[in-house]
Amino acid sequence: MNTIHFHISKFRSALLDWFRQNKRLLPWRGQSHWYPVFLSEFLLQQTQVKQALPYYHNFIRAFPDIHLLAAASEEEILARWTGLGYYARARNLLKAAKDIVDRFNGNFPQNYYDALTLPGIGPYTAAAILSIAFNLPHAVVDGNVTRVLTRLFRFEQDIRIPSTRKTLEQLSEQLLDPAQPGDFNEAMMELGALLCKPRQPDCDHCPLLFACKAGKSENPGNYPIRSKLPEKRRLHHFVYLIEKENRLLLVRRPQNGLLGGMWEFPVSENGHYKPEHTILGELLHKEYGIHGRVRDISPQLQHVYSHLHLRFHAVVIADVKGRFKKGFYRDYVWKAVNEMSGRFLHSAHHKAWEWYKTTKS
């Protein structure tokens, strides 16, 4: 049983005093409108602040309010999101913006359960926006807060188990300062980001050391306890850069699934095939119904996703004949090479594009 073993008022005061003196100056903090917080929370899902910052500035310049964001095309949102990963977030950001404009007259709903009806907004994101932007008493539990709580209470349960998360949420609700819920939540997350780090936590400067069981036992690195995830799946692809009259063929992935709605070059899963010219030509014709000459083949390239390790060879195809069959893909377009830029592609195929440019020099 994880009972609170310290004075909550002392805990809150120590944490909030530290936060006021040490918090990072982030562009969405201290804003009078909820929109910067809303945008930042989508960008920060599964992403560290330093990675999200340039994307935040890009988005806030392009779409300074919810109405402009809601009016954007999915293609424009995905292009600006390129490189950040987890592209379902980008599509949900746009859907949520449209929903806020259409259903809530351009205002973020201040009822927790209404907020949960918005695409891409789960319990954490709803609580974060409502507490930080509206000062409503909803506690948050993200990765940083989980780390702080499990060390405070020397929590022995596996955090991947749903019942464990429920317990952590209940503890967080008990600790929350109802008078300053937004600052309290940000302070807990900031403590986890700056001091209570996964490796080498800075316990000597922690304002909560007086209350921390793991810190006093000098074993905070043992927490949180989590079971191992399964190994990343491995895939091998050929990525075709198909040339025709100074244009390249781009295809759009289906809306659902990995990289949904993103543009890329056509691919073939190569299994155990070696990157040989004859085999590549046969695979290309079988998959897409066209013939062509293999002009160049890249060395092996790779890209790592959260659950997937992708290895691939980029293959330049010239002298194309036949009609392209889009098969798996939603759509395709021939894009002039001199109009191409990496912003049209997801990160893995951006690597193929960068290699391709070296073959043209």
DSSP state of 333: E
- In three-state form (DSSP H/G/I as H, E/B as E, the rest C), the secondary structure along 277-307 is HHHHHHHHHHHHCCEEEEEEECCCEEEECCC
* Distance of alpha carbon 131 from alpha carbon 177, whole angstroms: 11
* Distance of alpha carbon 42 from alpha carbon 100, whole angstroms: 14
Q: What residue spans of 23-176 are helical by DSSP H? A: 35-44, 49-62, 66-70, 74-81, 88-104, 112-115, 123-134, 143-152, 162-175
Neighbours of 153 (CB within 10 A): 21
Q: Tokens standing for 300? A: 């092996």
* Distance of alpha carbon 50 from alpha carbon 57, whole angstroms: 12
User: Is the separation of the CB atoms in 125 and 41 below 8 Å?
Assistant: yes
Cα–Cα distances (Å) from 215 to 165, 218, 245, in that order, read 21, 5, 65
Any catalytic annotation for residue 186? no
Annotated active-site residue in 41, 186, 243, 264: 41
Residues recorded for the chain: 361
Active-site residues, by number, are 41
